[in-house]
Amino acid sequence: MTAGKTLRRNGRLMGYADRWSVAPGETITFMVSAEPERYQAEIVRLTRGGPRTRGAAETFAYERAGAAVDGTYAGGVQELRPGSYATVAGDARLLSGPGFTVQAWICPTAPGGGRRQGILTKGCEEPGEGFGLLLDETGALACRAGDVLVGTGVPLLAGHWYLVAAALDPAAGTVRLLQRPLRRYAGDPDRADRTGHIGAGPRIDPGAPVLIAGEALAGSAGGRRPPRLEGGFNGKIDSPCVLDRALTAAEMARLRDGADGRDLAPGQVQADWDFSLDMEHRRITDVSGHGFHGETVNSPLRAVTGHRWTGRYRDHRLAPGEYGAIHFHDDDLDDARWDPAFRYEVPDELAGGAYAARLSSDGEECFVVFFVRPPRGRARRRIAFLASTFTYMAYSNLRHNPVRMREMTGGADVVIDEIDPVIGERRDLGPSLYNLHSDGSGVAHVSRLRPMLNVQPTYRWFLSGGGGWCFSGDMYLLDWLNARDVGYDVITDDDLHEEGLALLRRYDVVLTGMHPEYVSGEMLEALTCYADTGGRLMYLGGNGFYWVTTVLPDRPHVIEIRRGHAGTRAWASAPGEEHHSNGEPGGLWRHRGRPPQRLAGVGFTAQGGGPSVPYHRTPASRDPRAAFIFEGVDEDEPIGDFGNNGGGAAGAETDRADVSLGTPPHALVVATSQGGHSDLFQHVVEEVLAMKPGQGGTECADVRADLTFFETPGGGAVFAVGSIDWVGSLSHNDYDNNVSRITGNVLRRFMDTSVSPGPTPGHELYPITADTVP
C-alpha cells in the first residue's frame, strides 16, 4: 500500500474513461490531455480516502495493480470543443441553387456581446465563401453571403420570439432580410426588414453540411474529435425551413404581416425540420419529403416550449406542436471525443473496488476514477456497495458561487479545494447540473465522457467544512470497509439502471454512499422491490433518492434532469419545461408519489453550512428489536460528536422519518439530532408553504437527522442514518468509535440471513403474498 503524497492538481493533467465500471475480462479505455511533455500512468486501487480534517496524517492510500499499461507516455493537449448544434449532411440540392429563402423562429437568450451567432448556415468555413443567416455582434439579424455581411441594424431582445428570414437572390444581386417579433406592440421597435446588395452571390460548397445553431465548423476533426464550432447560438430555434427560391419583395411584405413562407411558396419547400419529433434522440426530422434528416451534436435541450406554446399544456406529449423548439447552448458538451491514450484489460483475478488511472508528472497528479465490478451475471461477495455515479456526474465540474457559499456558512471562511479555481476558469469543461449555462438557463444534461476534475479521492467540499463530498465522501466508507477487512463488490448507478433487480438479488446486503441523490425510475423500482422482498439495505447518507433522473436512450453516458418549480434547487425549470425529453415528469420523486421515506424510512428535511452535531438515543432504542444496533454503545453517550465532515456525524444535509410521507408505522427512530443544529440549518423549501420565521435548527423540530430501522417482508430490513456526514465519522480514533461500532453491528446482523433482522420475524410483520412478490 502506498501512502498518497500531497501533489498539485491544477488541470494540466486531466482525463476520463469510456465507462464508470468494468468487469473482469473487459477493457476500459482512457483519454488523456497532458500539458507536460511526458507523464506517468499507473492503475491503482483506492483503499484509503476522503479528505481528513482532524489530525490524520495520511489523507489517502492506494495499491498498485501492477498493470501492463503502467508506464510513461508522451504528453499532448487534447482540446475540448463545447457548443451544441444540429447538422445535416451536405447535399448539392440544399442551399446551392440560383436562389433560396431561409426561415426560422428563434428566441435568442444571449444576443450581442460582441460575437456572431449562427442560426442556419452552409459552407462558411473559408473566408469569402458560404451562406449564413445569423445574429451579428450587436444581436441584430444579418446575412453572410461570402464576404458580404448585410444586417438589419436592429438588435433582437433576449427571451423574445422572432420570425427571421433571408431571401437570397443572386440574379438580382440582393438579399432581403426580415425580423418579426411574435408579440405585437405599437411601433415594434425590434421589427425590421432590409434589402442589401451581395453582387453575384456567394460561392457555396455543395458538399458542405448545413449547420443549425452555428456559423461554421473549423479545425481538423482528427481521430474521434469533431471540428470546433464557431459562432455557436444561445437560445431556441423552432421550425427552420428552406424554400428553393427567393421570395419576392411582395412576398416578404406578406411574411412581415404574418404569413408563413411555406404558404407563400407551396410545393417549393426544400427542407422543413420539425423538432417536435424524436425529442429524446439525436435525430432531427425533415418533414418536407426530401429526406434532409440530421442529428444534434453535444445534446442541446429538447422538449422545450416553442413559439406556438399556449400554456394550456405542460406535457409536450399532449401538444407536441407547441414544443417544436430546441434550446442550444455554446457550452453544452456531451462527449469530448478525445483520442485514446491507453486501454486496460481487467484481469480475471483483480479484486473489485474503486480504482483509478493515476496520472502524474513533476509533482502534479490526477485520478481518473473507475470501478471494477463483479463478472457479468454473478456476484463475488455477499455485500454490494452501490456507487452513486449519477450523483458524481451531477456535481462534476461544479463552479462555486462565493457569495452563496458564504451565505450558507454564515459568513465563515470556507474551504476551497485547489481544483475549484481551475474549474471556475475552464468553462470548456462543461458545467455541472448545479450551474447555469452561459445564457443563464439551468443545466439539464451532464455527461461522463469528459474530464471531471472534482471526482477525486481527496476532493474537499465547502459545505462540510472541507470534508468529503460525493465520491471523496464515499471513500470514507470504502476506507472503513477495507480497514475492517470486509469483503464487498462494487456496483454503480449505471449498472443498476441497466440491470435492475436481478443485479441486487445477488447480494444479502446493499450499502449506499453518503449522497445517492439522483436516481432513475428503474433504480428506484429495483431498490424498493429488493428491500420489500427480503433484501437488506443500509442507506448510509442523506438527501437520497430525491431527483427524477433519466438516461438518454441513444446516449447512455448522458443523464437528464428537470428541476421543476419546487424542491431545494440550484435553478428552476422554465414554464412548461418540467417534463423530460422522454415524457417523464421531472422534479422531485416525492411529487410523483415516491418520497424517499417509502424506500428508506427517511427523507430530506434540512440543509445547512454550520457545524455538524451528534445524535442522541431515543426511547425507541430500548426496543428489543433494536438491541443489536447498540451493542457496545452506552445509552447516554452522544453518537458521532466527531468526524471529518463538519466535526460531527449529523450535518450538511439531513433526513427525517415521517409516517405521513411513507415511513413504515412500525419503523423505529432509535436516535436523532433534533435540537442540536444551529439556525444555519434550515427546513427544506418544499415543505415550507408560506414565508415564516422559525425554520432554523434552534426552533424547527423538523431540522434533524433520524437514525431509523425497520423490517420488511421476507426477512428484509432497512437501516438509514439520515445524514450526509455519517460516513465522515467512521475513521475517527483509528475506526474505534460508536459510529463505526453501530455501522458494524448492523452490517453483521444484516449479513446473518439465518435470523430475522430483529427479534420479530419479518414474515410475521408482513406476510408475503402475491401482491408483494414481483
Over the range 657-673, which residues count as b (16 or more CB within 10 Å of their CB) and which as e? Answer: bbeebbbbeebbbbbbb
Beta strands in 113-188 (DSSP E): 117-122, 131-135, 140-145, 148-155, 162-169, 174-181
- Given a cut of 80, whether residue 403 has pLDDT beyond it is no
Residue 227: predicted pLDDT: 87
Name the pLDDT band for 691 (thresholds 50, 70, 90).
Answer: confident
Extract long-range pairs of 410-416: CB within 8 Å, 24+ residues apart.
410/609, 410/610, 410/680, 412/609, 414/462, 414/609, 415/460, 415/461, 415/462, 415/465, 415/466, 416/460, 416/462
pLDDT of 220 higher than 80: no
H, E, C per residue of 209-250: CEEECCCEEECCCCCCCCCEEECCCCEEEEEEEEECCCCCHH
CATH number of 95-328: 2.60.120.200
* pLDDT single digits (tens) 521-554: 999 999 999 999 999 999 999 999 999 999 999 9
Largest Cα separation within the chain, whole Å, is 93
pLDDT digits (tens, 9 = 90+) for 430-440: 999 999 999 99
The pLDDT of 251-278, averaged and rounded, is 94
The pLDDT of residue 226 is 74
Mean pLDDT for the stretch of residues 394-419: 81
Tens digit of each residue's pLDDT (9 = 90 or more) over 275-334: 999 999 999 999 999 999 999 999 999 999 999 999 999 999 999 999 999 999 999 999
Please give the pLDDT value at position 769: 31
The answer on pLDDT for 773 being more than 60 is no
Location of each CATH 2.60.120.200 domain in the chain: 95-328
Cα–Cα–Cα angle for 730, 734, 735, nearest 5°? 35
C-alpha grid cell for residue 518? 439522483
Instruction: Name the band, by pLDDT with cuts 50, 70 and 90, for residue 49.
Output: confident
